[in-house]
Amino acid sequence: MAGLENILAYAKVKCWKDISAVLDQLQAASGSVPELNKKEFSSLLAGGAAFVTYDFGIDGVSIEIAKYAAVLEQLFPGIPLHFIGGDFHDKADVVLKDHWHRFKLDGFNGWDKWFDGKPFARLFQEAMPEGSAESGRMAREIWKQASALARKLDSYFHAHKIKLAIPVNISSNPGNVAATLGFVLAAEAAAIYVISSNHDYYWEGGKPAAERRPDEQPGPRDHFFRNLANRDFFQVFTRLYPWNGQRWIQANINRPQSRMLIERFGFPPDKVFELGTSISDRFFIHSTPEHVRSVRARMNYIVSDGKPVITTVDARRHLARLPEWMKNEQPIALGNREGLSLDLAADGIFYCLQPTRVILRKHIARDEQLFSALLNYPPFAGKFFADASRRLLLHVTGPTPIEHQDDLEDVLQAYITLCNGLPQEVADRIFLVFSVGNESHPGFEKLNLPPLCIEEIYQLADVVLFPSETEGRGLPIIESSAGGIPIICRRYYPQEVFFDVVGKDLPEVEQIRYLRFPAGEFREDFLADVTKLLLRPETFNDWREHNRKAVRQRYGGQTLVRKFRDLLDVLRRGTEPAGNTAINYRKTEY
């Protein structure tokens, strides 16, 4: 393989066809990859490994990357690990260890954070006709950005002797086409072995308008097909997502993704795998009431900015000032009125937790609709209305990506609508809390309090709510079940993935028990089950223990270690020359 500078020097890019020609050259030059014995392969990787994604924070992708990193440290003791991304949010410190190296690449972040979202909009939301001046301008702009990023990556790979990279979503979810192209250029030029970890693909929840049934609602990823008719652009697009390099293997998080790569995109089955998850022993907590109070008391300090009791902000005022808050998201508790007191550690709280970020497909407003249904269901409402010490609380743990501010507005408006429909004395006992990924506070050290951890975050809850519409895996189901916390979850799309997570076809002892979050109306039998769960939680003790055992059996700590050992062995054995996986989308049905 030629060095990166030679590749860039000979590339004269004026349009998308020219980028396709460069990709042709990369695949033609790669040849076969020789088999290495275990000692040779371990020696090659000893220099270091890199994890690459758009940005690092407290999101599910970053948490999974941290698991992968811990596995590599177990397999290769002392291996230097590098984390490469467009941004490292302050919450990343919760996930990434201090001794792991970080390399921030300007221009590598995705979506609205890719140069303020302007290139993303021009590629996927605005018209870019084939052969037009705009199409040529975008091809040259993407190439220029990709070349600059590739040079920085290539230099970093060589300086740190990195020979293994694990990009996550870089070659499956097109948040930044220049970042993907730049990574492909650098990885191929430096002969990097790549495990491409794919959590989401652009076709999941997306398709061209022409393929949508008259009664079918638009999908959340339809925009990726905005310029399908620009065949030159879409040829490049489908070759990058995902890239079929000689030293690359694809590691998906579910079987439908793998089938799509093999059956629709022509990837060889011996280069496509599923990469599951694992749950650490720390998740299998048997909390005492005292421990739960301790966890909730520490969350008080986080949400209240260092005070033992929380004072609420009026949700209506917060909604009016939301753009300002979004600039620097801080934990906040919202109430029906300004200045209400809330003690999370007090008795009488029905604590409902949604452990996700605020994005549309998580359907958080559906939780508030459930609250409304419960407060109109006499067996629950009678108890709640009659006991003034009772509180009903929804706690959302994750931050809101800037491009999803509208989704947060919907959640806030649903809460306000809920409160407006209740007597004030009842509405004053309904709360909405956002901890935006925080698990500690500067005051903890002075108070001699340990930071919270993700395992303890689940212990805040009486019940976990997970009405998500689509998921690549559905980690909250696994994590809450490991912690013995009952979960109410939707049978999300793809349903095959949901059934795989809960173990539908496995022996009963390995199945995860759950309450099904309905997509439509809340039936009386469902509300009766939720009421029983909240008012008589001890009746679910058998369920809790069953789920702990099922998760430990299926997702114990060594499962991921074994999988990574297998994936690395595939890379070690080398490959024959790869074919061109570029597709004609018009001949492919999704």
26 & 149 share domain? yes
Round to the nearest angstrom and report the end-to-end CA distance of the chain.
35
415 & 459 share domain? yes
Q: What is the pLDDT of residues 431-474, one digit of tens each?
A: 999 999 898 899 898 889 999 988 999 999 999 999 999 888 89
What is the value of pTM for the model shown?
0.81
Domain count, the chain: 2
pLDDT at 10: 87
Q: How far apart are CA 516 and CA 370, in angstroms?
A: 12
pLDDT at 501: 94
Q: What is the pLDDT of residues 222-254, one digit of tens each?
A: 999 999 999 999 999 999 999 999 999 999 999
Q: Is residue 578 scored above 60 in pLDDT?
A: no
- Which among 495, 441, 458, 475 has a CA at the least distance from the CA of 560? 475
357 contacts 401 by C-beta, under 8 angstroms: yes
What is the three-class DSSP state of 434?
strand
The parent domain of residue 486 ranges over 282-556
314 & 229 share domain? no
Q: Is residue 80 scored above 60 in pLDDT?
A: yes
Encoding tokens for residue 346? Answer: 């007090």
Q: Is residue 276 part of a domain?
A: no
Q: How far apart are CA 204 and CA 198, in angstroms?
A: 12
Q: Is residue 589 scored above 80 in pLDDT?
A: no
How many CA atoms within 13 Å lie on the side-chain side of 332?
A: 20
311 & 255 share domain? no
Q: How far apart are CA 302 and CA 284, in angstroms?
A: 24
Q: How far apart are CA 124 and CA 136, in angstroms?
A: 15
Q: Is residue 585 scored above 50 in pLDDT?
A: no
229 & 335 share domain? no
Q: Model confidence at 588, in pLDDT bands (50, 70, 90)?
A: very low
Helices then strands, each counted (H, E), the chain: 24, 17
Residues 6+ apart with CB under 8 A from 574: 32, 33, 34, 35, 36
492 & 386 share domain? yes
141: CATH: 3.40.50
348: CATH: 3.40.50.2000
421 & 569 share domain? no
293 & 360 share domain? yes
Q: What is the pLDDT of residues 409-423, one digit of tens each?
A: 999 999 999 999 999
Which carries the bigger pLDDT value, residue 129 or residue 585? 129
User: Poorest-confidence range of 15-29, 66-80, 142-156, 208-222?
Assistant: 208-222
pLDDT at 203: 92
Q: Model confidence at 590, in pLDDT bands (50, 70, 90)?
A: very low
pLDDT at 166: 98
Q: What is the pLDDT of residues 136-149, one digit of tens each?
A: 999 999 999 999 99
155 & 20 share domain? yes
User: Poorest-confidence range of 113-117, 197-201, 208-212?
Assistant: 208-212
Q: Locate all alpha helices (DSSP H) within 205-349, ordered by sequence.
A: 231-240, 255-263, 289-303, 315-320, 322-326
Q: What is the pLDDT of residues 22-65, one digit of tens each?
A: 999 998 887 789 999 999 999 999 999 999 999 998 788 898 99
93 & 147 share domain? yes
Q: Model confidence at 577, in pLDDT bands (50, 70, 90)?
A: low
Q: Is residue 172 part of a domain?
A: no
Specify the DSSP element, H or E, that contains 198.
strand 193-198
Tell me which residue has tokens 């693909």: 201
Average of per-residue pLDDT across 106-131: 96
pLDDT at 325: 97
Q: What is the pLDDT of residues 445-455, one digit of tens each?
A: 888 999 998 89
237 & 311 share domain? no
Beta strand 272-274 with 310-311: parallel, antiparallel or unpaired? unpaired
Residues 6+ apart with CB under 8 A from 400: 326, 329, 357, 358, 359, 407, 408, 436
Q: Is residue 277 part of a domain?
A: no
- With b for 16 or more beta-carbon neighbours within 10 A and e for fewer, the 537-563 pattern comes to eeebeebbebbbebbbebbbbeebbeb
501 contacts 547 by C-beta, under 8 angstroms: no
